[in-house]
Amino acid sequence: MAHKTITGIPVSAGVSIGKAFFLNRSRFRHLPRQTILDTAISGEVARLHLSFSEAEIELEAIRRKVPKELRENALIIDSHVMILKDPKLRALAEKNIRELCINAEWALEKAVSELREAFSALQDPYIRERMEDVRLVAERVQARLVGAVSDISSLQSRVVLMAHDLSPADTVDLELDKIMSFATATGAKTSHTGILARSLQIPAIVGVSDLEESVTDGDLVILDGFSGKILVDPDDEELEYYTDLKLQFEQYQKTTIRFCHLPGETRDGFQIKVLANIELFEEVAQVIDNGGEGVGLYRTEYSYMNRTELPTEEELYEEYRDLASILAPSRLTLRTLDLGADKLISHYGALDESNPALGLRAIRFCMRHPQMFKTQMRAILRAAVQGNVSLMFPMISGTQELRYAKDLLQVCKQELAIEGKEFNPDLPVGIMMEVPSAVMIAEFLAKEVDFFSIGTNDLIQYSLGIDRTNRHVSHLYQPLHPAIVRMIKYVVDAGHQAGIEVSVCGEMAADPFCVPILMGMQVDCISLGPQAIPGIKRIIRRANLQDCKQLLKDVLQSSTVTLTNRLVRETIFKSFPEELTFYTSLLDND
């Protein structure tokens, strides 16, 4: 039996066995405090500014390294760059140097402490959580100030990385030839670090209690990314068991790839389209390689990020046209801009909002900036001449917003016709169903669009009233909550009764335990990250629609998540035993 077993939240499946290596962030807790002479102030201020600049250059370099399939998550790195550029933190540290005659390291530490105090006084938990980003950014500057080098760079062999926490930039910057997995003392299931770990396909656990007290450098550990366990100094029997489990999982992954190009069809003939969520042209190759049958969600925001001027209609047209051409005859669904909240563009600057997630974002942002909205819609209309293109509006909460957007689309068509430019007048138009109010009027909305796409990430967040990235409440992010299952069923039925297609494009579409329920609803399409397509296709092809319908019927009678999870576990045990072996812990978070 292992010397000690500690547990955390599993965020990326897999097993690794190796020596532990602790990334020692505690070095910043003992920063030197020095009083300086008046004559040294200017030099210390210059050193502070230089460190900010170097940290910014470092982050920009990391951002460029983000794999194309992870670009959505690079937005959090963008936000860290924005914090570095924001004068508040730097000015506060500089003020401390000048007024208190202290060294730059301590001045910055004091500035962070002062900001933390100000943040903690705010009522909004979302804003308070942003302080964590400020702290991570300050740590990066501190590292430059103290001349710290990456501990990882000195490693000679692959290790199981342990850390108090890892920022998304840290995660992207991991040298995968030296890191086989990682565990952190902080973090939540749906944090960006967890999402990045899954995308990088390395086992990971976050929120591990007693991690720093229980593990030291050089300990032999087993990291179980299925259950969230870390076994410190395991015995021979445990080593044998986990070595076998690791091999089984590797074999399972190879099997999923082998059959990923076959259609998404159940054993009894029900067909469901398996599409991909992407945001970069370069990702199309991965979609095709992994058996994706088109793109169900193209996030168009990236073309607007990291630039001071808005893209022109011609730029957007060429991007969309080329994408449609290479995918044709497979479909391409272009979601109009979902800006706001944590996704901002330099052209409009930061929004001063107390709660951005409920503020000026997505369709609301576009309605505030109609000319920008029209530019994008004109480009989509023109590109739709090529291939099988659809347009989708995000975050529609009622018919008024939808009609405004459609009216503006009609204006675009009239303008293009007058200008003699070629466009597709019959461009299919759909909406994202991700706000509870839209769900409750789904039958009205269905009469005015060509398709629905259910964005389960936001739908769950808004319906259950939780921030899925907030570690204090992220455990309440429950896709199989009875309310969520019923809401999705309501939307699917409303869409089908109106004769329109309904797809699901949130993380539920990539969850092995949710897909059978979605199939029971006879959802027409699911759209998910390209890397998850092979595994989900395997489940679809081994399922029977009638079994899924029965599962859904039973689930709809459940009053609790616990009961639903039990029902799903029983079904998975009968039909997909491998998935139960590898992913059963996903059901244990009741």
C-alpha distance from residue 216 to each of 23, 176, 211 (Å): 10, 21, 9
471 is in an annotated binding site: no
**Cβ 409 vs Cβ 366: under 8 Å:** no
SS3 244: helix
SS3 38: helix
The helix (run of H) or strand (run of E) holding residue 371 is helix 370-383
DSSP state, residue 394 = S
Q: Any bridge partners for residue 227, and if so which?
A: none
524 is in an annotated binding site: no
Check if 192 is active-site: yes
* Pairing mode, strands 220-224 and 229-232: antiparallel
Residue type, 70: L
C-alpha to C-alpha distance for 7 and 94, rounded to whole angstroms: 42
403 is in an annotated binding site: no
CB atoms within 10 A of CB 398: 14
Catalytic residue among 260, 366, 412, 505: 505
Q: What is the dihedral sign for C-alpha 85, 144, 470, 583?
A: positive
SS3 379: helix
Degrees to nearest 5, angle at CA 404 with 400 and 410: 145
C-alpha to C-alpha distance for 76 and 457, rounded to whole angstroms: 17
**Cβ 275 vs Cβ 292: under 8 Å:** yes
Q: What is the dihedral sign for C-alpha 28, 29, 30, 32?
A: positive
C-alpha to C-alpha distance for 353 and 360, rounded to whole angstroms: 8
Catalytic residue among 80, 192, 412, 481: 192
C-alpha to C-alpha distance for 110 and 222, rounded to whole angstroms: 39
Check if 514 is active-site: no
C-alpha to C-alpha distance for 366 and 392, rounded to whole angstroms: 13
335 is in an annotated binding site: yes
Binding residues for Mg(2+): 434, 458
Binding residues for phosphoenolpyruvate: 299, 335, 457-458, 468
User: Could you list the active site residues?
Assistant: 192, 505
